[in-house]
Amino acid sequence: MTRNRWTVLIIEDEKTIGNYIEAILANKDYRTLRAADGVTGLSLYASHHPEVVLLDLGLPDMDGMEVLKKIREFSSVPVIVISARIQEREKVDALDGGADDYITKPFGAEELLARIRTALRHRLHMGQSGVQEPMYSRDGLVIDFSKRMVTLRGKAVHLTQIEYKLVSLLARNAGKVLTYDYILKEIWGPYADTDNQILRVNMANIRRKLESNPAEPHYMFTEIGVGYRMLE
């Protein structure tokens, strides 16, 4: 038996999808809890305190966004929204409403497991001690947060203040989608008169400095209509 059996709460009314998720997770030794509606989901959450919640947005008794809001009233547990709908607005709303990530149906086992691992890692990093990793290092790209230095395959990369802030914000949240609104607020402040255009321009400049092919980024991905995600 493995030592760490994380508990995942699945709030999903479609039986086949619930079974599918449960089978994937059981295979990796996760403990699972199932709820087919929002009320049951909330009560299971309150009684079992799972480490991750998978939340379908289209539930029979209440809107998934409502469930998310209720969970956020008392908990910062990672919530991954399962969306059948393809509207970008909904993904953005879910992320801005406190979801940690989303996954769109249909999805494969590997994608689901990767999202859960990311969510758990963020929970471990941020949750208990509040201590951050001192560095981001992936495929030759190194960001030293304490020295505020970025190197690519050993060579220093010169970034503007804003560019550095952007890269480090994404790197500190590597693997997780950050929405345009969230990034704008974090970098330029809540009252700044900015729009996505300034963000796009800065991202294009960063990609020219970091990516060997900016059109096919290796480090910083665009989630179309939603935001950006940095390679985990």
Q: Are 151 and 196 in contact (CB under 8 A)?
A: no
We find the least distance from the C-beta atom of residue 63 to Ca ion, in angstroms, to be 11
Residues in touch with Ca ion (CB under 5 A)? 13, 56, 58
Report the residue number, 41 or 50, with the smaller CB distance to Ca ion.
41
The Cα–Cα gap between 210 and 85 comes to 34
| CA angle in degrees (0–180, nearest 5) for 122-221-219 | 80
Nearest to Ca ion by Cβ — which residue? 58
Which stretch of DSSP H or E encloses residue 118? helix 109-122
The Cα–Cα gap between 50 and 37 comes to 17
Q: Please state whether the peptide bond connecting residue 106 to the residue before it is cis, i.e. omega within 30 degrees of 0.
A: yes
Report the residue number, 58 or 225, with the smaller CB distance to Ca ion.
58
We find the least distance from the C-beta atom of residue 183 to Ca ion, in angstroms, to be 30
We find the least distance from the C-beta atom of residue 37 to Ca ion, in angstroms, to be 10
Helix (H, G, I), strand (E, B) or coil at 176: coil
Q: Are 125 and 78 in contact (CB under 8 A)?
A: no
Outline where 28-108 has alpha helix (H).
38-48, 64-74, 88-96
Report the residue number, 39 or 126, with the smaller CB distance to Ca ion.
39
Say how many CA atoms lie within 13 Å of 53 toward its Cβ: 31
Report the residue number, 42 or 187, with the smaller CB distance to Ca ion.
42
We find the least distance from the C-beta atom of residue 56 to Ca ion, in angstroms, to be 4
Report the residue number, 56 or 163, with the smaller CB distance to Ca ion.
56
Q: Which amino acid is at 186?
A: E
Report the residue number, 58 or 108, with the smaller CB distance to Ca ion.
58
We find the least distance from the C-beta atom of residue 64 to Ca ion, in angstroms, to be 8
We find the least distance from the C-beta atom of residue 118 to Ca ion, in angstroms, to be 23
